[in-house]
Amino acid sequence: MVHCETSNFASNAITSILFVFIASVAYTIWLTIYRLYFSPISHIPGPKLAAASWWYEFYFQVIKGGQYFKKIAKLHEQYSPIVRITPLEVHIDDPEFVDTIYTNAERRDKTPWHKNAFSSDTSAFATADHDLHRTRRATLNPYFSKSQIRKFAPWIQERANMLCRRFQEEYKGTDNVLTINEAFSCLTADSVMEYSFADLHIATNFPILIQLQIFILPRSFVTWLDPTSKIIFAWLNNVERHVDDVVKGSQKHQDVNHATIFSEILQSKRPPQENSKERLFNEAQTVVSAGVETTAWTMSVTFFHLLNNPEIMQKLNKEIEEAWTDPDVPLDLPTLEALPYLTAVIQEGLRMAYRGAARLPRISPDKDIPYTIPSASSCTTTKTVFPSSHTFAPERGLASPPPHLRNGKESPLSRYMISFSKGSRNCLGMQLAYAELYITLANVVRKNKFVLWETGLEDVVADREFLLARPKEGSLGIRVKVV
């Protein structure tokens, strides 16, 4: 009797497993057929494997290591300016489409899979719904306005002064090699933490891409696998501590002469759930992480090209010296912003740095079709808009726009610059980033002399994409000596 029951149990288990297997195979076949032949975007050209399965992108992004942005460019060459790159996504290689997809005029939801790449689900950046996003951004926008950032500019100037002093005292005339991108990261980390909480960051170098698994697996296990993750956890703990202080009303440094974002948010009229500790932590995590490495890398790439092109550096240095006769008396931000060649250098640096290399999908409001405009790495290298696009040439920002037509009229180059994205979801910290770029680059160029050391184009050219553009694997950064 027992033997019979055991046999029946085993038989039922095998039958269940077999049923699940057959059902899974049948569903996969049905889903593949639907995606290839009946999907609303089945008529869009592209590789069948990309249309049928997400594993196509997985191969290039995970197995090959951030290579899908290069593959997409090849797909456009092979197929057309409009290519299907995933089962649910269309990629459009046409700069004229920028204002159509990244707009303030129409609803633009974010795709769920793009939102899920971040752990801060309730932050404004990760909010998929258009209406909820606008509500959350409306709270933050006033604190990142141009007028508010100009009030904060003197603090950035103080940090730039400190940075230049350290260059002079610790590196000038020595054999010490300076990794300039790490130095710039320290400055941008200090700035965004001061502006957010009126305090400084305890870890100024951490990976921008915080894997979701870090928040699921036990921290002891993660740090055992990767000891460097302790830096990330220290950063998260620090941000959480600051949020706790804000919520409890015990934040230090209340005598600062600028608004601190999160203390101001708590004083605004918002639904209780929007002021929860979890919501503020998510917001803080994205504001701080987005404000560090993106701007620091743009500074670094810009600075590399200045050092790598002595004529451009000489021209920039001449403009700055003529406007800034006494380096001990800093120029204010509006004066720096009015310098035409410095502005052109910064714009070209933003273009060459590919500040946001990842795709930024938006959902088509009329057909619920996710589609993406070219990422910054492709849009800003379009040859018809930016001739010799891989050459650092600030003069292109000073000359008349090229004969690139839109509705029969010439369009300024700024229209094709999407380093900060565009529309209702453009980069929240754009004005802060610009202030850091103007002040830091002007100070570093005016007060110091550098030479590159064992650093070449391969250390700044985008070779991989992990949200941000990355140079080749094994690059040691942008290294210089102070002379």
Q: Which residues are annotated as a binding site for heme?
A: 427
State both tokens at 117. 């790449």
* Phi then psi dihedrals of residue 447, to 5 deg: -110, -5
**Cα–Cα distance, 467 to 32 (Å, whole number):** 28
**Cα–Cα distance, 71 to 206 (Å, whole number):** 28
Query: What's the half-sphere exposure (Cβ side, CA atoms, 13 Å) at 231?
Result: 11
**Cα–Cα distance, 307 to 321 (Å, whole number):** 17
Q: Is 44 exposed, middle or buried (0-12, 13-18, 19+ CB in 10 A)?
A: buried
b/e burial code for range 189-207 (CB count within 10 A of at least 16 → b): bbbbbbbbbbbebebbbbb
Beta carbons of 243 and 287 less than 8 angstroms apart? no
Beta carbons of 460 and 300 less than 8 angstroms apart? yes
Distances in Å between the Cα of 227 and the Cα atoms of 176, 182, 208 are: 27, 20, 17
List, as residue ranges, the binding site: 427
Residue among 359, 379, 197, 210 nearest 293 (CA) = 210
